[in-house]
Every structure is written in structure tokens, then in C-alpha cells.
A = this chain, B = another copy of it.
Amino acid sequence: MATSRFFNMPPFASTRNKSKVSLQRVDITSNAIQKTVRFSVINCSLKINHAQPALNDEIRVPSVIKEMENEEITSPSVAGRLVKGGPVFQQNVSVRSFEIDSEYKMSTKAIMNYLQEASLNYAKKLGLTIDTRFGITPGMRKMDLVWVFRGMHIEVDRYPCWGEVVQILHWTCASGRTGVRFDWTINDINTGETLVRASCLAVMMNKNTRKTCKFPEEVKDEIKAYLREDVEPIVEAFKYSCPQIEAMDHIKTGLTPGWNDLDVNYHVNNAKYLDWILESTPDSIRDRHELWKMNFEYRKECLKDDVIQSLSRVVPSNEKNREIEVEHVLRLESGHQVLRARTVWRTNSHSCRGINSMKTIF
């Protein structure tokens, strides 16, 4: 298992801003916790926090850029800001009372919503898109292309509490000839600790034929200044075999989307799939554990009138292991699969209930 990692932003050429951001490899093999190193990188003063050893001996990626100075804000009317002219987008958000679970912690669904929010605001901020909701560039509109998510991987080290202000960092990378990868971290605004890492592969689909296609050169030209090359995903999908549907013994049928679950094209929002996964997750797991790692493999779009079956199976494992793996499939009544997913659960690591109460007791 990896004991050190590095976050390397390659030299970045923007048509708007020629400055470079290049963070050096940071050695994090020591056990230093929140030791702060301050150094300058070409006109940009950044505070980098050494990573804190995470659960299961994994090391958190030292990607936290806690203080960013001299950043360019191109359009104050759009939430968030561009860091150094474009390679990274930053948005701070506050966790709302309606976005928390029974332990007063931000729900995973809310986290997924904010990842989307950061991506759309990044596109708005860059002024690259003609349709702000879906990141549609003029070239994409001409060719009737839309973005579709293929896979999403999320790893949560700590869930933020109600009222906590967190910092979302977001950047995009080219991914082969067909796609774009979106990466995000959500960070503790005070300590710089990385709380959530997420990575998503998006490809282009012709909205008439509903088939995916290669990344057209015209579109690549439109956005290449903001696509990085050769940057590792902030979080990798964990490996697993094909789900054994015939062995899935936790089943919930008759699930339907509500009007508030649809996007502006009347497709079900990808965060809604998580609701349906939870419906067939055994109570004993959902009540006493929390979601730690998630892999989502999106296979088919879902519309308002679709009726969904949610199937789950706990993956047998060594009982000494406190992690629980569950495999999931969402499918239409016709049998067509909408989503395959694998989730890893751990014992509830903390509660925000006490934290919130303490603040307001007389």
C-alpha cells in the first residue's frame, strides 16, 4: 500500500494568464500531523499542509491549498474563484441544516451535489459554456453533444458538520481520446485537512443517437487551455469484480423519481442514485456505519417515468476486517442496468451532534 503520494500540477499554459503553477513533490513518509510548510511558487504564495495519516494506513494527498493570494476573479457574479487564472477552481460552501444526516453530518448526497455545483460554476467562471447548466460549449451545441458521466469515485475521510464552512477545490484533466476527468477535494477551511476526494470520468454523447463519441478537435480547442495533462486522479477506483446479480439478496422495487430529482433535461440527477442504493442497503449497515468509499458506474440514463429496482449484496470478507463492502445494481423493470456500484462502509467515525449542541447550550 502506498506510503507516500504527491500532487503535481504540470506547467499550465493559459490563454489568459501565462503564469505557471508547479508544486514540488512533498515527502510525507513522516508522521507529521498538520505540519505546515510555507513556500512560494512563481508569484503565488501557497500554504501546503503535510498530510495526516488516514484510516487504514493510507496517506491523504497533500493537495490542500489553504491560502491563495493574487487569484484572478473574472466574474464576481458567479460563486467561487479561479486560482491563478484558471487551473484550479475554488468555492467555499457552508453545510445547511437540510443537508445533514441523523448525526448532523453532511450527507453523501449533499457532497455529490456540491461537486456538480463546483464544476458548473467553474465552467461559468471561465466563460467557456453556452449552456451554463450542462457545460455545453458552442462547438458541442453545433454537434448536438452533451456530457455524460461514466464513473465516479468518492472517498470521504471525515464528513463535515452542519454549519461548517468547507473549501472545494476542482480541476479538470484530459483522459485519453474520449473523455475528461473531473477531480475535486473538499477541505477543512481551518486546518487544511482534506476531507473528501472525488474523481469522475465524463465523455461526450450525441443527444440524438444517444451514443458516445470521441472528443472532437473543435471542442478540445475550445477548452484545452483549462485541461491539464498527465495528472494522476486525486482518487483511484478500487478494484472489484463484476457484481453477482443472482446472489443479490437485498432488494427494493417500485422506486420512482420525483419532479425535484430531475435536471433541466428531465433526466434523473446522478446524486439521486445514491438514495436508491441506500434503499436496498441492509439496515444494520446503514444504521451503524458510514459510507467511506464509493464507486459508481453509470450505465444508462434514467427518466421521470422509469421504475427502478435496487439490489444489494454484502461482499463476504474476513470477519476481522471492520470494513464492509457492498455491491449494488440499479435496474429498470425491463432488466436494463442503470448503475453498478460498490460501496465500502466503516464504523461511524464521529458524530457532529455534540459539536452543534455544545455551541448553543446556555
Question: Could you tell me which A residues sit within 8 Å of B by CB distance?
Answer: 75, 77-79, 94, 96-98, 100-104, 107, 109, 113-114, 116-117, 120-121, 123-124, 127-133, 138, 162-163, 254, 258-260, 262, 264, 266, 269, 271, 274-276, 278-279, 286, 353, 356-357, 359-362
In the complex, chain B residues whose CB is within 8 Å of the CB of A129: 360
Contacts of A120 in B (CB 8 A): 97
Contact between A131 and B357, CB atoms less than 8 A apart: yes
Tell whether, in the assembled complex, residue A133 and residue B262 are in contact, meaning their CB atoms are under 8 Å apart. no
Q: Within the assembled complex, what's the spacing in Å between the Cα atoms of A77 and B361?
A: 14
State the Cβ distance, A101 to closest chain B Cβ, in Å.
8
Query: Which of B78, B113, B279 touches A258 (beta carbons < 8 Å)?
Result: B279
CB–CB B359/A109 < 8 A: no
Quick check: A133 and B258 within 8 Å, CB to CB? no
CB-CB under 8 A from A75, the residues of chain B are 359
The answer to whether A94 touches B79, judged by C-beta atoms less than 8 angstroms apart, is yes
Residue of B nearest to A262 (CB): B102
A103–B107 Cα distance when bound, in Å, is: 26
List 10 other contacts, CB 8 Å, given A101-B264, A130-B362, A132-B356. A78-B163, A79-B163, A96-B117, A97-B116, A102-B262, A104-B133, A128-B360, A129-B360, A259-B278, A259-B286
CB distance from A267 to the nearest CB of B (A): 11
Q: Which residues of B contact A138 (CB under 8 A)?
A: 362
Alpha-carbon separation in the docked complex, A132 to B276 (Å):
29
- Would you give 23 A-B contacts (Cβ < 8 Å), ordered by A? A75-B359, A77-B359, A79-B163, A96-B113, A98-B116, A98-B117, A98-B269, A98-B271, A100-B264, A101-B264, A104-B133, A123-B360, A124-B163, A124-B359, A132-B162, A132-B359, A133-B356, A258-B275, A258-B276, A259-B278, A259-B279, A260-B274, A260-B275
Q: Which residues of B contact A259 (CB under 8 A)?
A: 275, 278-279, 286
A260 to B266, CA, bound (A): 21
Closest residue of B by beta carbon distance from A164: B77
Tell me the smallest distance from the CB of A128 to a CB of chain B, in Å.
8
B109 touches A97 (CB 8 A): no
> Are B117 and A361 in touch, CB under 8 angstroms?
no
CA distance A272 to B138 in the complex (A): 37
> Which residues of B have CB within 8 Å of A359?
75, 77-78, 124, 132
Given contacts A258-B279, A259-B275, A275-B258, are A360 and B124 in contact (CB under 8 A)? Answer: yes
Q: What residue of chain B has the Cβ atom nearest to residue A131's Cβ?
A: B357
- In the complex, what distance in Å separates the CA atom of A106 from the CA atom of B33? 42
Smallest CB–CB gap between A348 and chain B, Å?
Answer: 14
A97:B356 contact, CB within 8 angstroms? no
Q: Report B-chain residues with C-beta under 8 Å of the C-beta of A260.
A: 107, 109, 274-275, 278
Q: For A278, what are the chain B residues with a Cβ–Cβ distance below 8 Å?
A: 258-260
Chain B residues within 8 Å of A124, by CB: 163, 356, 359-360
A264 touches B102 (CB 8 A): yes
User: In whole Å, how far is A289's beta carbon from the nearest beta carbon of chain B?
Assistant: 13
CB pair B97–A133 under 8 Å, yes or no, is: yes
Which chain B residue shows the least CB distance to A99?
Answer: B113
